[in-house]
Amino acid sequence: MVAITPQSLHNSFRYALRGLAHTFRTQQSFRIQVFAAVVVLVAMLLLGVTTRDAVILIVMTAAVLVLELINTVVEHLTDLVSARLSPVAQAVKDAMAAAVFVASIIALVVGLLIFWPYLATAAS
């Protein structure tokens, strides 16, 4: 068993943050999703959503961001193993993009369902 040292823990965090930074710099869709996540978090604070609703919104937001990170990994690996964009490589990339899209649409619907009553109350 490998012992966890302060240095190994530091390296783990450094690698993770480097991966986040790389994805943020290179993936426009990730930047858009991070912006949307910030908007959701600010709206949660301003509207005073319940803890249950906040947990649901945070989980949905995290799911979309994690899927986009996985999408980035799959795209890089596909590019690495496929010298040219074969139909199979394209299908892999398209399926991963579809997974992120579906999660984003579901997160949007959940967000609207949660925020709608708060917005209606705030408007009246």
Q: What is the DSSP string of 59-83?
A: HHHHHHHHHHHHHHHHHHHHHHH-S
- pLDDT tens digit string along 12-52? 999 999 999 999 999 999 999 999 999 999 999 999 999 99
> CATH classification of 29-123, choosing from 3.40.50.150, 2.160.20.10, 3.30.390.10, 1.10.287.3610?
1.10.287.3610
Mutual orientation of helices 6-26 and 28-47 as an angle, nearest 10°? Answer: 100
The per-residue pLDDT for 83 is 73
97, 33 contact by CB (below 8 A): no
pLDDT tens digits along 85-118: 789 999 999 999 999 999 999 999 999 999 999 9
pLDDT value for 33: 97
